[in-house]
């Protein structure tokens, strides 16, 4: 977006992963994101470059964005909670090694509060030994969502920049503001101190995830009472203080950010000895896991309490529509529960590859189960053929307009459909003959004798 909006700025993207850089330089980009291909094609070779020559890029740059991954740590202290900052630290050390003049270093990765301090300590060490060096570290968290990244970047609700309040700090902030001002109205560029900016990113993601867990918790009450979660969400969201966005009940949120960032905030609360705050935010994750479990348990319950050897078609594997990203996708966890029960799973996703699906499933369950029980299809009708149930896990638009009569005809009877995204026309499906179960509404066609 910077390359597109600021033709006078040269943008060089560097990555340790040479394969990825090769793909960025090819016609087949390493990620699927609507609108991205066009922009890359328009700018690449003019003022946008992809390279693995990291030292040269550092040498040449005035501003350096650190945008490396900060996944949840899976070992040692903070395992399963704290973000792993080893890549951020490694970049700071690389900058310290190759910089030959003053640089503004921008923390774009999502990090815990005070991470900028560590980066600065490492850079200051280099500065102490070389008079030509001077570093300012800014926090500039990213708020784009996958699937809508280009729109979000082109028209952000806000851009947040945190930095030191010293003269040099303010000058660095002003430089970054000038870049965003090319396309973002000045009143939408917020400047704060570094720690507020870092914390805002974690807070924003936690608030968003909390909204989804709140509506998902309400969806469970709806299923038990006859209220309809879509009606409740609509009416609750009409209150402008609450707002209608992010009230879509679902199989639970996925993606590489929400769980990681909520856990990062919980961990921060714990190390600061703020246990009630840690427990409060941890509830967001607990509800999300519960929602996934409830959904898969309902499938088993409504298929006469056994799915062993039953063919089940799963529509969607990506964590949301318009992306091929599967990181922390609820589909993985729902499939895991069903595989434990020895169901035969037939997947269809318009963008996710077979290799990715098998790799993700092998990470959470035994290889043997995946090899024996999982089939991947390139056509939804094939996936649903002879199935006892169709389960919608991702809200891809194309699932709304499939020929459900044809799907019904080729399924085992009774044919059930479980809508985990509330995208299907339930009345029409019932007319066709399906037993329909949807998140957040009472199971009126339940065969189940016990609640």
Ligand X SMILES: NC(=O)c1ccc[n+]([C@@H]2O[C@H](COP(=O)([O-])OP(=O)(O)OC[C@H]3O[C@@H](n4cnc5c(N)ncnc54)[C@H](O)[C@@H]3O)[C@@H](O)[C@H]2O)c1
DSSP β-ladder status, 63-66 and 48-51: unpaired
The two tokens of residue 378 are 């390139």
User: 345 — phi, psi (to 5°)?
Assistant: -105, 130
* 3-class state of residue 365 by DSSP: coil
Question: Among ligand UPG, ligand X, none, what binds residue 68 when CB lies within 5 to 8 Å by partner kind?
Answer: ligand X
Question: Among ligand UPG, ligand X, none, what binds residue 319 when CB lies within 5 to 8 Å by partner kind?
Answer: ligand UPG
Residues 367-394: b if buried by 16+ CB within 10 A, e if exposed: eebbeebbebbeebeebbbebbbbbbbb
Site residues (CB under 6 A) for ligand UPG, limited to 74-133: 110
Question: Among ligand X, ligand UPG, none, what binds residue 70 when CB lies within 5 to 8 Å by partner kind?
Answer: ligand X
Instruction: For residue 220, give the nearest of 288, 279, 300 by alpha carbon.
Output: 288
Cβ proximity of 346 and 378 under 8 Å: no
91 binds ligand X (CB under 6 A): yes
Whole-angstrom Cα distance, residue 59 to residue 387?
59
Question: Among ligand UPG, ligand X, none, what binds residue 170 when CB lies within 5 to 8 Å by partner kind?
Answer: none
Question: Among ligand UPG, ligand X, none, what binds residue 217 when CB lies within 5 to 8 Å by partner kind?
Answer: none
Interface segment toward ligand X; rule CB under 6 A; list 13-21, 174-182, 212-220, 416-424: 13-21
16 binds ligand X (CB under 6 A): yes
Residue 269 CB, shortest distance to ligand X, in Å, is 19
Task: Choose, by CB under 6 A, the member of 84, 107, 146, 198 that binds ligand UPG.
Answer: 146
Site string for ligand X, 328-357 (x = CB under 6 A): ------------------------------
70 binds ligand X (CB under 6 A): yes
The torsion angle over the Cα atoms of residues 365, 287, 319 and 431, rounded to 10 degrees, is: 100
255 binds ligand UPG (CB under 6 A): yes
In order of 139, 216, 258, 345, the CA distances from 394 in angstroms are 33, 16, 17, 15
Query: DSSP letters along 80-92, please?
Result: TTSBP-HHHHHHH
Q: What is the largest CA-CA distance in the chain?
A: 78
253 binds ligand UPG (CB under 6 A): yes
70 is in an annotated binding site: yes
68 binds ligand X (CB under 6 A): yes
Looking at the Cβ atoms of 13 and 343, the one nearer to ligand X is: 13
Residue 159 CB, shortest distance to ligand X, in Å, is 13
- Long-range CB contacts (< 8 A, 24+ apart) of 14-19? 14/50, 14/51, 14/52, 14/53, 14/54, 14/57, 15/50, 15/52, 16/52, 16/54, 17/52, 18/52
Site string for ligand UPG, 208-227 (x = CB under 6 A): x---x---------------
Residue 23 CB, shortest distance to ligand UPG, in Å, is 20
Query: DSSP letters along 272-314, please?
Result: TT-HHHHHHHHHHHHHHHHHHHHHHHHHHHHTTT--TT-EEEE
Task: Choose, by CB under 6 A, the member of 247, 303, 314, 422 that binds ligand UPG.
Answer: 247
11 binds ligand UPG (CB under 6 A): no
Task: Choose, by CB under 6 A, the member of 9, 39, 144, 154 that binds ligand UPG.
Answer: 144
Map tokens 């995946």 to a residue. 370
Binding site for ligand X (CB under 6 A): 15-17, 20, 67-70, 87, 90-91, 109-110, 142, 144, 146, 256-257
Residue ranges of the annotated binding site for NAD(+) are 15, 20, 68-72, 109-110, 146, 257-260, 327
Residue ranges of the annotated binding site are 15, 20, 68-72, 109-110, 146, 257-260, 327
Binding site for ligand UPG (CB under 6 A): 110, 142-146, 205, 208, 212, 246-248, 250, 253-255, 257-258, 319-320
């Amino acid at each position: 977006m910077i390359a597109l909006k600021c033709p006078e700025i040269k943008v060089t993207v560097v990555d340790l992963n040479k394969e990825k850089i090769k793909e960025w330089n090819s016609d087949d980009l390493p990620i699927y994101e609507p609108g991205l291909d066009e922009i890359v094609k328009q700018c690449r070779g003019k003022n946008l470059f992809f390279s693995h020559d990291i030292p040269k890029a550092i040498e040449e740059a005035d501003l350096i964005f650190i945008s490396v991954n900060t996944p949840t740590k899976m070992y040692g202290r903070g395992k399963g909670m704290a973000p792993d900052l080893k890549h951020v630290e490694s970049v700071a050390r690389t900058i310290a090694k190759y910089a030959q003049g003053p640089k503004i270093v921008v923390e774009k990765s999502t990090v815990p509060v005070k991470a900028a301090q560590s980066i600065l300590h490492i850079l200051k060490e280099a500065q102490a030994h070389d008079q030509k060096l001077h570093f300012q570290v800014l926090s500039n968290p990213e708020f784009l969502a996958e699937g809508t990244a280009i729109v979000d970047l082109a028209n952000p609700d806000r851009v947040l920049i945190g930095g030191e309040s010293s003269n040099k700090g303010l000058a660095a902030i002003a430089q970054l503001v000038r870049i965003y001002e090319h396309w973002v109205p000045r009143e939408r560029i917020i400047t704060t101190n570094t720690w507020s900016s870092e914390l805002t990113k974690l807070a924003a993601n936690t608030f968003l995830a909390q909204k989804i867990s709140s509506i998902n918790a309400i969806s469970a009450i709806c299923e038990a009472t006859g209220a309809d979660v879509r009606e409740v969400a609509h009416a609750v969201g009409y209150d402008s203080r609450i707002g209608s966005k992010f009230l879509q009940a679902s199989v639970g949120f996925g993606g590489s950010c929400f769980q990681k960032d909520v856990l990062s905030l919980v961990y921060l609360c714990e190390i600061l000895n703020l246990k009630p705050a840690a427990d409060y935010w941890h509830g967001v994750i607990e509800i999300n896991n519960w929602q996934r479990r409830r959904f898969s348990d309902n499938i088993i319950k409504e298929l006469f309490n056994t799915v062993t050897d039953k063919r089940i078609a799963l529509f969607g594997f990506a964590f949301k529509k318009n992306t091929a990203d599967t990181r922390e996708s609820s589909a993985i966890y729902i499939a895991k529960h069903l595989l434990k029960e020895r169901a035969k799973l037939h997947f269809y996703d318009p963008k996710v590859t077979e290799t990715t699906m098998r790799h993700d499933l092998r990470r959470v369950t035994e290889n043997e189960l995946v090899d024996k029980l999982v089939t991947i299809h390139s056509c939804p009708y094939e996936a649903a053929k002879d199935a006892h149930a169709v389960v919608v896990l991702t809200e891809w638009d194309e699932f709304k307009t499939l020929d459900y009569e044809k799907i019904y005809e080729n399924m085992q009877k009774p044919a059930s459909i479980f809508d985990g995204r509330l995208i299907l026309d339930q009345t029409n499906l019932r007319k066709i003959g399906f037993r329909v179960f949807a998140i957040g509404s009472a199971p009126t066609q339940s065969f189940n004798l016990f609640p």
